[in-house]
Structure 1
Amino acid sequence: MSGNTVWNAGWSTSVQRPSTGFDENWAEEGFADQTVRQVVRVTGSGTAARVRLSNRFGDAPLEVRGAALARTDRGAAVQDGSTRRLTFAGAGSVRIPAGGEVWSDAAEVSVAPFEKLTVSLYFARPTGPATFHAQAFTTAYRAAGDQSAAADAAVFTETTVSWYFLADVELSGGPARQDTVVTFGDSITDGFASTADADHRYPDALAERLADAGLGRPVLNAGIGGNLLLNDAPWYGERAGARFRRDVLDQPGVRTVIILVGLNDIGFSEADEAEFPTFRPNPELSAAEIIDGYRDLIEQAHAAGVRIVGGTIMPFRGAEYHTPDAEAKRREINAWVRTSGAFDAVADFAAALADPSDPEVLRAAYDSGDHKHPGDAGYRAMAAAVDLASL
């Protein structure tokens, strides 16, 4: 393809430094003479695709000896005849410097919104700890040796629910889009407690709702479980303000961002340190400080010509870090989000998911069981709470 190819958003995730997580993952051990096969669902369409691989948090160069792209069949299986070897500046392998990233060349593949693509990466030499996305809620598969073009899914005998080194899929084959929506935030945006491999996160439901309304457009998920607005965290990614440009504003054709972040900034300082040792850093922050963090995101978005929708923080009484002080901060922040006029629009998730008889509690039908994260029905209710005209 020519250098004039137009690339539109297809799929994206926010990368993190290697760490342990809520589920077992392979990030800290990395890979050696192994193939990792990963599945993503795109919300755009095209006739060709390229992938971005990230070694942002690697402490040594990363060698990818082989890579392939295919249309997904089921699980680790791919559709017959759809596998395309990926190249990088014409070569079948690539070396990515520590802290760097690389785009593959274009691979011809026809894909429609809500179809799935499979990306397989072979690492011949030890990678060291892996840049990854911890809470994918999508199964990744591992096999010994070079199985990047394997047709037999049975060779992939190990699984986790994280993504490794894979950061973006972009699609070409149509005019440039200027209507991408990015959802940005913490575990509630990431989709914690949603059904694995079912694409039932709220951004997924929002993309489907837009399509059903005849307003189909790319919707990207830039959530990181545990993410903080104001502080970097070893387990939960760079602070929202620091990653906002890379994960939101640098996406192709971005028009609107919906933010939902701040719950962990409120709650980490309230949790028992012995019981929740990963809730770090955990300084006590005022509502005013968190609101100032929102103002920074708003300023960044507007400077880039991007609309920004503020999401209200949902009820969480009964969760591990709910206290009267935390509840007071949530109410103060939500009142500001609703009434300040600082955002271009508001998505009142709190009102949509609260128990009508007790606004400090998630409605039981929407609660995943931890009194903080919605389940699948709750994520659908969140998507329904977004005014499509605001996008």
Structure 2
Amino acid sequence: MKRLAIGLLGLMACGQGMADDAGQRVAAWAPSVTPGGPAFHAQTLRMAVHPSVGGTAPQVRVSNLYGTTPLQVGHATLGLQASGASPVPGSLRPLTVGGSASFTIPAGGEVWTDPVPVEVKVGKNLLVSLYLPDAVASSTFHQDAFETTYASADGAGDHAGDVDPAAFTETSTHWYELSAVTVAAPKHDTLVAFGDSITDGYNTPVSANARWPDALARRLVAGGIPLAVVDAGIGGNRVLTDVVPDVARGVSALKRFDHDVLSLPRVRTVILLEGINDIGNNAGPDGGPLTADHLIAGYRELIRRAHAAHIRILGGTILPYRGAGYFSEDGEKTRQAANDWIRTSGEFDGVIDFDKAVRDPAQPQRLKAAYDAGDHLHPNAAGMKAMADAIDLRKVR
């Protein structure tokens, strides 16, 4: 089988910008990625992708962003999900790069596949399959997918074109080696929900698409508002500092903003909800304690970079967390100060008061019991819906 080796020039030439409809594309799905994924050897991965918007000619961004060795893809396909690892019969299409059915991505690189001539329907899952013929020491992945991914056994070979799901004997709830899917949707723009585990949907039901960005996307579709929504949340992520040694929690928001937001097409609006992990871990810059001023400086830098790219950025207030494992009185004071600044400074292009939407009116430092997933930090599915419902859709257009 012909294999395309992609160097830096190849990454540029095979990218999304070469598509004829490049100016009409939006991101229908784009999870943030981190290092720390497991090793694979001659295995096929089959992953469910839930697009927030319909369109045509999907392209997939295959990622080796955190790989330490070249990533070889021997065969890749895209199809419509019937159920589990089963595609709709007749829906599988090859994913190619520069016309080649196999390709190699250097360590630290990513590549966009060629457009696939199929229609993507909003809310109807796609299945992306990657056959990895050579050993992958550590994969680029998204840890908390809350979606079932299927894999063949170690050494089982190429099953990317299988309609019968029998070869997919292993499951996980992670996404591997994928960082975006775009579609041609000429009347749409992209909205990025940028945050930590609360945006990532921690502790919501698997395969239910019950994260608050999912609920927001459904509201936008129902209201006829042409915005695709992508979820750029990472569990445990912080604004100011990397999470070390737990690299699966990602580099800081400041470091990943360019990749997770600015690299996506036609981003119009960002909703920023992040800071509770900085507060809970008292993680200030240079290893020192955190102050509200530190956090505000981080917000200002993200605002500056969004505005430099002509993107609107809305500030989400930090949710209550009394009762959570890392709650402290000093941390609560920092949270209140940060929220006061978000609400009153006027530096964001708008404010979404997530705190008000989910707090207990009688005990405002706590999540409302009906919205508490059980750890007093993360909202459950009902809380996620309340967060999405608190967003004034006029602010995100």
TM-score by length of 1: 0.92
Question: 1:8, 1:176 within 8 Å by CA — same for their partners in 2?
Answer: no
Show the 5 A alignment for 1:228-247.
228-233=238-243, 234-247=247-260
Aligned-partner Cα distance in 2 for 1:176–1:352: 31
Q: State the shift of 1:283 in Å.
A: 4.2
Query: Who is 1:253 aligned against?
Result: 266
* 1:16 and 2:25 correspond: no
Aligned-partner Cα distance in 1 for 2:80–2:250: 30
* 1:384 and 2:393 correspond: no
Q: State the shift of 1:47 in Å.
A: 2.5
One-letter amino acid matched to 1:69: L
* 1:151 and 2:163 correspond: yes
* 1:167 and 2:184 correspond: no
Of the three residues 3, 7, 20, the one matched with 1:4 is 20
Query: Who is 2:106 aligned against?
Result: 97
Aligned-partner Cα distance in 1 for 2:293–2:147: 37
Segments ≥4 residues shifted beyond 6 Å: none
Q: Name the CA shift for 1:283/1:116 in 2 (closer, same or farther; >3 Å).
A: farther
Of the three residues 65, 68, 76, the one matched with 2:74 is 65
Aligned-partner Cα distance in 1 for 2:180–2:356: 33
Q: Deviations over 1:19-64 (max 9, x none)?
A: xxxxxxxx23x11111000001111222221101111111111101
Counterpart of 1:73 in 2: which secondary structure?
Answer: strand
Q: State the shift of 1:3 in Å.
A: 4.0
Aligned-partner Cα distance in 2 for 1:337–1:150: 50
Query: Who is 2:233 aligned against?
Result: 223
Q: Deviations over 1:121-152 (max 9, x none)?
A: 00111011001111111111111321101111
Residue ranges of structure 1 left out of the alignment (5+ in a row): 19-26, 271-279
Show the 5 A alignment for 1:48-127.
48-127=57-136
Q: State the shift of 1:232 in Å.
A: 1.6
One-letter amino acid matched to 2:378: H
Q: State the shift of 1:5 in Å.
A: 2.1
Counterpart of 2:83 in 1: which secondary structure?
Answer: coil
* 1:371 and 2:376 correspond: yes
Question: 2:282, 2:331 within 8 Å by CA — same for their partners in 1?
Answer: no
Of the three residues 179, 183, 187, the one matched with 2:193 is 183
* Identity value in percent: 47
Q: Name the CA shift for 1:283/1:156 in 2 (closer, same or farther; >3 Å).
A: farther
Question: 2:68, 2:108 within 8 Å by CA — same for their partners in 1?
Answer: yes
Aligned-partner Cα distance in 1 for 2:207–2:312: 31
Question: 2:187, 2:226 within 8 Å by CA — same for their partners in 1?
Answer: no
One-letter amino acid matched to 1:260: L
* 1:206 and 2:206 correspond: no
Aligned-partner Cα distance in 2 for 1:152–1:118: 13
Counterpart of 1:379 in 2: which secondary structure?
Answer: helix
Aligned-partner Cα distance in 2 for 1:46–1:115: 11
Query: Who is 1:309 aligned against?
Result: 314
One-letter amino acid matched to 2:168: F
Question: 1:309, 1:344 within 8 Å by CA — same for their partners in 2?
Answer: yes
